[in-house]
A and B are shown apart, each in its own frame.
Chain A
């Protein structure tokens, strides 16, 4: 049943069109099979390039006006940072409280810096740190409110940890007065 060249020649002579079309079909089938993977590859590559290109376009689109906003933000943060205290500058920090004391008329009873570890909060590393102080002042109700107002709206950023407001002396006793003692545990926002 073996087919030799002579048989093929005879077959070719007998049906040249059919044989030619058959050979062409085989060639086209093989070609299609070999090139089919290229379509998939290019499709994936196109998808990847589209995503990359779109991301780049989005970046550019989202970034319009960013330079101006960044400039404005930098100016703001610079201004804010000028209001921070430095934990190492103890004398200057205490001077801040003394100035408020003289402005408001309260009498300072006690002013102590708090150890850094005592106020440090657990969590992610922060850019700024709270510089802790315990301060006790004495004065009448108006002066105390004024003192608090100066702290709350003062040059440095202030956070209250705890506070005690207590009346001075025994009520109705010989040492009774309008004086109030305010003890604050507070933090001023500062640079480490």
Chain B
């Protein structure tokens, strides 16, 4: 009876997990994964280093290339500098001479060539009008004279002449306005006197 009891105790004991100390040193045991961790670490480290090396090399290549380009330009500048300086000095002299021509052009720039103007007036003047004074000023030309005929005819001749002056293409190029300033009878001889003003283009306010 006792042995039966003991036997049953033995069968119960064989079912319990067998305990023993684990002496395995995981640090020294080989990595049993399909791809070792070491491979990944090395791969990443080499990839990063390779990328940086490429970047650094490219940067150095650019520095070298820029340095060469700077040196090339400097050599070209040194070669051409003297010639350029001579050209600049000559251009300055040229500009000084040019100033003289510009000044002369400015001096000779006139609104009116008087001889041509008088000749044009003489040729285009109607037979029943006569000038007493032609006065050329900064702002324009004042024409004063007399008109022949009765007052009615004379005033008609004068206004027709003013209209003719306004339509005159040659005068239109010089004058912007033609105004009859005065038309009155001369008490001494009974003739009608007129005063026509031709204002230069851009001469400012009207008379």
| Residues in A lying within 8 Å of B, measured CB to CB | 15, 17-22, 24-25, 28-29, 31-32, 35-36, 38-39, 42-43, 45-46, 49-50, 52-53, 55-57, 59-60, 62-63, 66-67, 69-70, 73-74, 76-77, 80-81, 126-128, 130, 141, 144-145, 148-149, 152, 157, 159-167, 171-172, 187, 189
Q: With A63-B87, A73-B101, A162-B137 in contact, do A28 and B56 touch (Cβ < 8 Å)?
A: yes
Kindly specify which of B6-14, B112-120, B157-165 makes contact with the partner chain: B112-120
Q: Which of A31, A62, A126 contacts B87 (CB 8 A)?
A: A62
- Bound-complex Cα distance A160 to B118 (A): 14
Which of B15-23, B47-55, B169-177, B195-203 contacts its partner? B47-55
Is B81's CB within 8 Å of the partner chain A? yes
Contact residues in A for B131 (Cβ distance below 8 Å): 165, 167
25 contacts across the A-B interface (CB closer than 8 A): A15-B41, A18-B42, A20-B45, A24-B53, A28-B52, A28-B53, A28-B56, A31-B56, A39-B66, A42-B67, A43-B66, A49-B77, A57-B76, A59-B87, A66-B87, A66-B94, A127-B99, A128-B103, A144-B118, A145-B115, A145-B118, A148-B118, A163-B136, A167-B133, A189-B107
Whole-angstrom distance between the alpha carbons of A59 and B62 in the complex?
31
Which listed residue (A18, A60, A145) contacts B45, Cβ 8 A?
A: A18
Cα–Cα distance between A73 and B98 once the two chains are bound (Å)? 8
Whether B90 lies near A67 (C-beta < 8 A) is yes
A18–B189 Cα distance when bound, in Å, is 126
- Closest-CB distance, B81 to chain A (whole angstroms): 6
Inside 8 A of B107's CB, which chain A residues have their CB?
Answer: 128, 130, 157, 159, 187, 189
Residues of A within 8 A of B42 (CB): 15, 17-18, 21
| Ranked 4 nearest A-B pairs via Cβ | A63-B87, A21-B45, A42-B66, A148-B115
* Cα distance, A171 to B144, chains bound together (Å): 13
B73-124 residues at the A interface, CB under 8 angstroms: 73-74, 76-77, 80-81, 83-84, 87-88, 90-91, 93-94, 97-101, 103-104, 107-108, 110, 112-115, 118-119, 122
Residues on A with C-beta less than 8 A from B167 are: none
Question: Chain B binding site: helix, strand, loop or mixed by DSSP?
Answer: helix
- Look across to chain B and name the residue whose beta carbon is closest to the beta carbon of A188: B107
A38-B63, A60-B87 known; A77-B100 Cβ under 8 A: yes
Pair A49/B88 contact, Cβ less than 8 Å: no
What separation, in Å, do the CA atoms of A24 and B103 have in the docked complex?
A: 74
CB-CB under 8 A from A21, the residues of chain B are 42, 45-46, 48-49
Say whether B103 contacts A32, CB under 8 Å: no
Rounded to whole angstroms, the CA-CA distance of A43 and B106 in the bound complex is 48
Given contacts A36-B59, A73-B94, 9 further A-B contacts (CB under 8 A): A21-B49, A22-B49, A49-B73, A66-B94, A69-B94, A76-B101, A164-B134, A164-B136, A189-B107
Closest beta carbon of chain B to A115's beta carbon, Å: 19
Knowing A56-B80, A152-B113, say if A32 contacts B135 (CB, 8 Å): no
